[in-house]
Amino acid sequence: MDCWSSSFQVDEEFEKLVIRMNPPRVTVDNVSSRTTTLVKVDSANKRGSLLEVVQVLTDMNLIIRRAYISSDGEWFMDVFHVTDQNGDKLLEDDVAERIQQSLGPRGHSFRSLRRSVGVQAAAEHTTIELSGRDRPGLLSEVFAVLADLKCNVVAAEVWTHNSRMASVVYITDEESGLCIDNSDRLAKIKQLLLYVLKGDRDKKSANTAVSVGSTHKERRLHQMMYADRDYDITDEGYGGSTTISDHRSKPLVTVDNCADKRYTVVNLRCPDRPKLIFDTVCTLTDMQYVVYHGTVIAEGPEACQEYYIRHMDGCPISSEAERQRVIHCLEAAIRRRNSEGIRLELCGEDRFGLLSDVTRIFRENGLSVSRAEVTTRGTQAVNVFYVTDASGNAVRSETIEAVRNEIGLTILRVKEEVYSRSPSQQETGRFSLGNLFRSSSEKFLYNLGLIKSCS
């Protein structure tokens, strides 16, 4: 064991000892504010404390309306004004206990999460991470390969930004319903998916990873897109067609030095949305910055965030190039989760190959998936897709109706639907996926050697 590894283990054990001696204290105040619940967290300070707290609140589906952050010295204290998804104060009696358990010694610390990438001791599924150049039909090809390899997708999240794609997919074996741990089979899955990701153009930056366990999906998606340099709009080949979000106002991000206090001050202003504070704090943390003080106000349509940061070595930002990089990375973090296109919700009985069939229909009708959230609840598939046309523009209502007619009007719905339909269409609720015809996707699978004939 080298000196670095020994030092790292000593630091980690000391950190665990400090946490055991000074576990985080969580208090919940439902009296001080008329509209929000105050969650106060204070504990011994350690690297990643703020991200850990924000991640726990986000995973509990709490909306952060205000936040006050202070972590100078050996102690940190955060105060969050939160509501539930409906904008109401929290009524549960066990909120403080749930947060405390998640942050305590038995919870996942920042370092252990990052080093193990969330691999569980008794995994129920296999995790696949994919990143590469985005293109129309890519998600359909990925799900088609997984289906042909007898892999059942139990959950997935897909992000696209700046012509790049990143996804975390959880799969099980079709027959056993368990995780896939056969090394030869995993190697084949990885090889074929890498072939799909590379396509005809992305020969260098496509990447796949397979592990037995789970990850914190959104944390990993940020890390993967950051590693793929989706924030670098000047790199050759990273440009793309004009998308819907290109017409929206950019997030306003400023980065300035506070010379007398030796901090760098980061200010952000953009339209508010759920999980915005998680996205920005996650990005600053992964860029090796420490937030010492901060204020977040998100009580209207616009959110304002201010952070006083330093690099891990205790120094503020020292160059114009670094300042611009922070601005571009925060802009990318804010826009990655922005949902381009029309939201389609697929709710129905789950079955093997469902995602492969649905995304194939999207592709055959010229739809491109800009973002996807796939979940399975018992025997039900609850999936959300944001779709645009192949150029990233809005989809015609006629195309959406054609897709819904093919998949099933009662199965695939448009959120806040504004398309008019004839009475005969409204009465039709057929589910036609059981009789899908062969398509060009079979030629793709044939070229991969997954099927013997495409005739």
DSSP state of 67: E
Burial classification of residue 65, based on how many CB atoms lie within 10 Å of its CB (0-12 exposed, 13-18 middle, 19 or more buried): buried
pLDDT of 423 reads 38
Beta bridge partners of 75: 44
The answer on 212 and 95 residing in a single domain is: no
The pLDDT score that the predictor gives to residue 116 is 29
DSSP code of residue 434: G
Residue 324: which of 294, 287, 279 has the closest Cα?
287
| Residue 303: inside a domain | no
- Judge whether 48 and 109 are in contact, CB under 8 Å: yes
Is 218 found in the same domain as 348?
Answer: yes
DSSP E strands, 316-450: 342-349, 367-377, 380-389, 412-414
- Residue 134 to residue 387: CA distance in whole angstroms: 13
Give the DSSP letter string of 181-240: --HHHHHHHHHHHHHHHHTTT-SSS-EEEEEES---HHHHHHHHHHHTTTT-TTSTT---
For residue 198, the enclosing domain spans 126-231+340-448
Residues in the chain: 455
d(CA 444, CA 422): 37
Q: How far apart are CA 377 and CA 440, in angstroms?
A: 31
Residues 61 and 164 in one domain: no
Whether residue 319 lies inside any domain: the answer is: no
69, β-bridge pairs: 78, 294
Q: Largest alpha-carbon pair distance within the chain?
A: 74
Q: Is residue 281 part of a domain?
A: no
pLDDT of residue 165: 95
**Do 158 and 110 sit in the same domain of this protein?**
no
How many CB atoms neighbour CB 74 within 10 A? 10
The single-letter code of the amino acid at 225 is M
Q: Is residue 12 part of a domain?
A: yes
pLDDT by residue, tens only, the chain of 455 residues: 454 444 445 455 555 555 555 678 899 999 999 999 999 998 888 888 899 999 999 999 999 999 999 987 778 899 999 999 999 999 877 888 888 888 765 444 433 333 323 323 236 889 999 999 999 999 999 999 999 999 999 999 999 999 999 999 999 999 998 999 888 999 999 999 999 998 877 666 788 888 765 668 999 999 999 999 999 864 443 344 444 444 456 899 999 998 788 999 999 999 999 999 999 999 999 999 999 999 999 999 999 999 999 999 999 999 999 999 999 999 999 999 987 899 999 999 999 999 999 999 999 999 999 999 999 988 899 999 999 999 889 999 999 999 999 999 889 999 854 433 333 444 333 334 444 434 445 555 555 555 555 44
Look at the alpha carbons of 127, 219, 378, 348 in this order and tell me if their dihedral is positive or negative.
negative
pLDDT of residue 97: 83
Residues 6+ apart with CB under 8 A from 270: 251, 252, 276, 302, 303, 334
Give CA angle at 123 (117, 127), nearest 5°: 50
Q: What is the pLDDT of residue 119?
A: 28
Q: Do 146 and 218 share a domain, yes or no?
A: yes
Q: What is the DSSP string of 91-158?
A: --TTHHHHHHHHHSTTSPPHHHHHHHTT--TT-SSEEEEEEEE--TTHHHHHHHHHHHTTEEEEEEEE
Residue 453 lies in a domain: no
SS3 54: helix
Q: Which of 81, 116, 151 is the last residue of a domain?
A: 116
Beta strands in 272-417 (DSSP E): 289-297, 302-311, 342-349, 367-377, 380-389, 412-414
3-state class (DSSP) for residue 55: helix
Does residue 142 sit in the same domain as residue 83? no
Residue 215, in any domain of the structure: yes
- Note whether 173 and 87 are same-domain residues: no
Domain boundary pick from 70, 88, 116: 116
The total of structural domains in the chain comes to 2
Residue 436 Ramachandran class (φ > 0 left, ψ -120 to 50 alpha, else beta): beta
Residue 188 lies in a domain: yes
- 366 and 428 assigned to the same domain: yes
- Say whether both 132 and 198 belong to one domain: yes
- State whether 130 and 110 are in the same domain: no
The three-point CA angle 321-323-327 to 5° equals 115
Residue 71 lies in a domain: yes
- Structure tokens that stand for 271 in this block: 């339209």
On whether the CB atoms of residues 360 and 315 are closer than 8 A, the answer is no
Check whether residue 47 and residue 154 sit in a common domain: no
Report the relative pairing of strands 75-83 and 126-133 from DSSP bridges.
unpaired
> What confidence score (pLDDT) does residue 419 get?
38
pLDDT of residue 338: 84
CATH number of domain containing 380 = 3.30.70.260
Examine the fold and report which residue of 116, 149, 173 is the final residue of a domain before the chain moves on: 116
Please check whether residues 73 and 139 belong to one and the same domain: no
